[in-house]
Amino acid sequence: MDSDVTERRVVVGIDGSSSSYAALRWALRYAGLVGGVVEAVAVWELPGLYGWSGPAVDMDVDVEEARDRMRQELTDVLGADAAGSVRSHLVHGNTTDVLLRAAEGAEALVVGSRGRGGFARALLGSVSQQVSQHATCPVVIVRTAQD
């Protein structure tokens, strides 16, 4: 996610949820207003990998297939032309840590209010809450009509 420090970047976390798609659309509109570029960041982490027991999931992650799915999601949400202007990053690690690092020096970090794993009654997801408290740039939390 290295980029020119003079460039105006809007970083958006996406995870396949409707909330993250709303955040992606918001980030694209805002980047257009400030003359910036959108960097869409999707993070993957294997559950159980860091615990005391062995992981309960298949360790073989097809990163190229995941990148292809991410590009297709961007196209489905934004359309081909707009999706082509978005820089996409698929990163392994802790979601909060990856987003905070990616957003260093950015105009804004945009996230959905709740991700795929969110509890139905929670006002904020754990990631949106954490980044709002620890980011070094402005954070925008986008809610959907269902929230």
**How confident is the model over 103-116, as a mean pLDDT?**
89
Out of 4-13, 20-29, 92-101, 109-118, least confident range:
109-118
What is the rounded radius of gyration, in angstroms, for the C-alpha atoms of the chain? Answer: 15
**How confident is the model over 27-31, as a mean pLDDT?**
97
| Mean pLDDT score across all residues of the chain | 84
User: Structure pTM?
Assistant: 0.83
- pLDDT at residue 106 greater than cutoff 70: yes
Contact 137, 103 (CB under 8 A): yes
Distance between CA atoms of 64 and 44, rounded to whole angstroms?
Answer: 13
